[in-house]
């Protein structure tokens, strides 16, 4: 599955998913005539409704982002710095655990 590149693309994907849920709900209702089928179709319709609501929210977010960018003169700040990786690179060659001691023998500690 592709990830949407923007809130606007996300809204479009959510609209498509809501339409697909509505199609499946109709198909279940047409094919499964008993109480269980009606329950299943109603559940799928609720999912489609929630997807539609989320699509509307994503569209509003896209509009807000576009307005903020336009208000900033079209200048977008640079991307944030990436988080550190898990490459396992050592920060120093010192190995082992260093425990902080209350009195490590240095002369600048009171009551040494």
pLDDT in tens, 14-38: 888 889 999 989 888 888 888 888 8
Cα separation, 112 vs 102, in Å, equals 10
The H or E element that residue 60 is part of is helix 35-71
pLDDT tens digits, one per residue of 41-87: 899 899 999 989 888 888 888 888 878 877 766 555 666 666 666 66
Please tell me the pTM assigned to this model: 0.53
In the 8-state DSSP scheme, what is residue 82?
A: P
């Amino acid at each position: 599955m592709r990830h949407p590149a923007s809130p606007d693309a996300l809204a479009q994907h959510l609209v498509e998913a809501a339409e697909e849920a509505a199609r499946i709900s109709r198909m279940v209702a047409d094919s499964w005539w008993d109480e269980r089928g009606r329950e299943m179709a109603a559940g799928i319709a609720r999912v489609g409704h929630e997807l539609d609501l989320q699509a509307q929210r994503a569209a509003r977010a896209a509009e807000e982002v576009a307005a903020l960018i336009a208000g900033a003169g079209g200048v977008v700040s640079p991307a944030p710095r990436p988080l550190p990786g898990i490459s396992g690179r050592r920060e120093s060659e010192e190995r082992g655990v260093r425990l902080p001691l209350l009195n490590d023998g240095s002369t600048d500690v009171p009551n040494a």
